[in-house]
Amino acid sequence: MSPGNADVRDLPALPDAEAALAELAARMAPAVAHDAAFVGIYSGGAWVAERLAKMLPGDHPVGFIDVAFYRDDYKRSGLKANTRRTELPFDVEGATIVLVDDVLFTGRSVRAAINELFDFGRPDAIELAVLVDRGGRELPIEPTYTGASLAVARDLSIVLSRDANGRLALAIEPATAA
């Protein structure tokens, strides 16, 4: 086993993304406000937010957030390429918001997303829904709703992808240097 690389045999079994999404929706359905806005964190979280808005009862405005301007690693790694516009097509002031991300790891993206939301107004409440919680938190941030949980070594990344038909899939790869 070479240092820094997890052995292939140690790779955890990944949950099926569509099954995790169904589980997440089932857990949210009885609890989420019917007018809550869903805000997906680019890029994976945006796909999950779009799907959840269609699956859950109620009328959920969907927004997207790119946290690049609020990240805490800008001084270390600069501005990431392909930053997208944050689009929040509803009034954040007084809104109930469910932040949606694909994979919850350190909690730093969520911290950045919450800071960015407050620059648009004061929401009544913010909840957090994640497709996969992989552990490894570096901040006191916990999800309100989780699709699947698993423990993954720190040097591995879990990556969500979406095919042409809109089906979601999870893959595991060596972490790229941040």
Partner 1 sequence: MISRNPQLNAEGKLTHLLTLEGLPASVIADILDTAHPFVSVGEREVKKVPLLRGKAIFNLFFENSTRTRTTFEIAAKRLSADVINLNIGVSSTSKGETLLDTVDNLVAMNADMFVVRHSQSGAPHLIAAHLNRTGRAHVHVVNAGDGRHAHPTQGLLDLFTIRHYKKDFRRLTVAIVGDVLHSRVARSLIHGLTTLGTPEVRAIGPKTLLPTAVQSLGVRVYHDMREGLAGCDVVVMLRLQSERMRGALLPSPGEYFKHYGLTVEKLAMAKPDAIVMHPGPMNRGIEIDSAVADGDRSVILPQVTFGIAVRMAVMSILAGG
Binding partner 1 (rule: CB under 8 A), the pick from 120, 137, 149, 162 is 120
Q: Determine contact, residues 22/48, Cβ cutoff 8 Å.
A: no
Shortest distance in whole angstroms from residue 43 CB to partner 1: 13
Binding partner 1 (rule: CB under 8 A), the pick from 10, 119, 142, 155 is 119
CA dihedral 75, 77, 80, 81 (to 10 degrees): 130
Task: Report the alpha-carbon distance of residue 104 to residue 157 in Å, rounded.
Answer: 11
Shortest distance in whole angstroms from residue 15 CB to partner 1: 32
Give the nearer residue to partner 1 in terms of CB position, either 10 or 69.
69
Shortest distance in whole angstroms from residue 67 CB to partner 1: 10
Shortest distance in whole angstroms from residue 74 CB to partner 1: 5
Which residue, 150, 173, 110, 144, is CA-closest to 19?
150
Shortest distance in whole angstroms from residue 31 CB to partner 1: 30
Task: Report the alpha-carbon distance of residue 80 to residue 82 in Å, rounded.
Answer: 7
Half-sphere exposure of 89 (CA within 13 A, CB side): 6
Task: Report the alpha-carbon distance of residue 63 to residue 41 in Å, rounded.
Answer: 9
Binding partner 1 (rule: CB under 8 A), the pick from 8, 81, 151, 164 is 81
- The verdict on 82 binding partner 1 (CB under 8 A) reads yes
Residues 51 to 80: which contact partner 1 by CB under 8 A? 66, 68-70, 74-75, 77-79
H or E stretch at 99: strand 96-104
Contact string 96-115 vs partner 1 (x = CB under 8 A): -------------------x
Shortest distance in whole angstroms from residue 41 CB to partner 1: 14
Q: Determine contact, residues 49/61, Cβ cutoff 8 Å.
A: no
Q: Which positions lie near partner 1, rule CB under 8 A? A: 66, 68-70, 74-75, 77-79, 81-87, 115-116, 119-121
